Amino acid sequence: MTQRFKVIVTDFLNDDFILEKEILDDIADIIPAVALKEEDLVGIVEDADALIVYHSISIREKTLTRLKNCRIISRGGVGCDNIDWEFARGMGIDVTNIPDYGTEEVADSAIGMLLTLTR
C-alpha cells in the first residue's frame, strides 16, 4: 500500500473540507491546524507533505526551515504576500495560489454598486 500524503490546512474559512476531501481523499490525510498565528504551527507542520494556507496565517522563514517533507504550499486565494515564496522556492517548495478566486463575488458586487448608482 502506498503511503498517504499529509496535508495540513493551516487556517480555514469553514471546517467541513468538502472540496479538499473531494480532491485529495484518495491520496492524502487532511489535517486542520486551526492556527491563528504562525507560532501555533510549531509541532504540527514539520512532517507535512503539503500546506494549504488561507488568509489568517503568514508562513515565513522560521516556519519554512522546519518543513522537512513539504513539496508545495497552496494559497487558497489570490496573491501570496502572506508566504515568503522566494525563500520557499529556494528550499525547493513550490508555492501556488488561485488567481481567479472570488471573481464571481467581485463581479456581483460591482454590478450591485453600478445599479445603486443608477437610482
**What are 33-76's pLDDT values in tens digits?**
989 899 999 999 999 999 999 888 999 999 999 999 999 999 98
**What is the length of the chain?**
119
Q: What is the pLDDT of residues 65-109, one digit of tens each?
A: 999 999 999 998 888 889 999 999 999 999 999 887 777 888 899
Amino acid at 57: I
CATH code for residues 5-117: 3.40.50.720
Which pairing describes strands 5-9 and 50-53: parallel, antiparallel, or unpaired?
parallel
Rounded to whole angstroms, how far apart are CA atoms 70 and 102?
A: 27
